[in-house]
Amino acid sequence: MNNINKIGIVELIDRILEKGAILNADLIITVAEVPLLAANLRLALASVETMIKYGVMNDWLEAIDITEKEKLKPQLS
């Protein structure tokens, strides 16, 4: 797995867990357990190369539609 795919996953998970429209707090359930989920995910991302090595996330990477572009050029010329 290259760095490009890792960045795509980080970008996606950051958004799904941290962002989005906010509903009034009194309407939604207390999500005290959710940080555990987020922590698990972040730990998973830290070892994402190992997961790919064992094929854990390959299907997911193929399924998610993350288009990425990169360009390397010399800087500070």
Give the 3-state secondary structure of residue 47: coil
Q: According to the binding rule CB under 8 A, does residue 70 interact with other proteins?
A: yes
| 62 binds other proteins per the rule CB under 8 A | no
The count of residues interacting with other proteins (CB under 8 A) is: 54
For residues 9 and 74, give the distance between their C-alpha atoms in angstroms, rounded to a whole number. 27
How many Å apart are CA 37 and CA 61, to the nearest integer?
Answer: 20
13-52: contacts with other proteins (CB under 8 A):
13-24, 26-29, 31, 33-34, 36-37, 40-42, 44-46, 51
Would you call 53 helix, strand, or coil by DSSP?
A: helix
- 69 touches other proteins (CB under 8 A): yes
Residue 75 structure tokens: 């800087």
3-state secondary structure of 39: helix
Which residues here bind other proteins, judged by CB under 8 A?
A: 3-4, 6-8, 10-24, 26-29, 31, 33-34, 36-37, 40-42, 44-46, 51, 56-57, 60, 63-77
